[in-house]
């Protein structure tokens, strides 16, 4: 059994953990260490519509 620790559950950490999950054996363990309980997928921010920066 192998244990793989991925530190940081941001864009790279989530992508790596997902790929590793498909590549390793069932008995292997992947641990994702991330202090936050949420993640904004920032590479998709460009798909958001622009908003005015002025506030009334
Ligand atoms: C406003 C904004 C808009 C962006 N828009 C785009 C875009 O349109 N397209 C694009 O390609 N890129 C965009 N980016 C860049 C994008 O954020 C980065 O390319 C990408 O998030 C980098 O991934 P990363 O995994 O290296 O870092 P991050 O996604 O920042 O992840 C790092 C993770 O490590 C965690 N962490 C930090 N310290 C520790 C610790 N000590 N122990 C454990 N975990 C820790 C953090 O909580 C975080 O979850 C944008 C960035 C910002 C800020």
Task: Please choose, from the candidates 35, 38, 32, the residue with its C-alpha nearest in 3D space to the C-alpha of residue 12.
Answer: 32
pTM of this structure: 0.82
Is residue 11 within 6 Å of ligand 1 at its C-beta? yes
Residue 53 clears pLDDT 80, i.e. is over it: no
Domain extent listing, the chain: 3-39
3-state secondary structure of 41: coil
* DSSP element (H, E) containing 21: helix 11-23
Is residue 33 within 6 Å of ligand 1 at its C-beta? yes
Is residue 38 within 6 Å of ligand 1 at its C-beta? no
Q: What is the pLDDT of residues 1-51, one digit of tens each?
A: 999 999 999 999 999 999 999 999 999 999 999 999 999 888 888 888 887
Confidence label for 54 from pLDDT (cuts 50, 70 and 90): confident
Is residue 45 within 6 Å of ligand 1 at its C-beta? yes
Given this model, what pLDDT does residue 55 score? 64
- In whole angstroms, give the CA distance from residue 20 to residue 41: 19
- In whole angstroms, give the CA distance from residue 3 to residue 48: 38
CA of 27 to the centre of ligand 1 (A): 30
């Amino acid at each position: 059994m192998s244990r793989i620790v991925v530190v940081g559950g941001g864009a790279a950490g989530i992508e790596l953990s997902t790929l590793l999950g498909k590549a390793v054996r069932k008995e292997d363990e992947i641990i994702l260490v991330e202090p936050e309980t949420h993640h904004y997928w920032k590479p998709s921010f460009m798909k958001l519509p622009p908003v005015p920066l002025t506030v009334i």
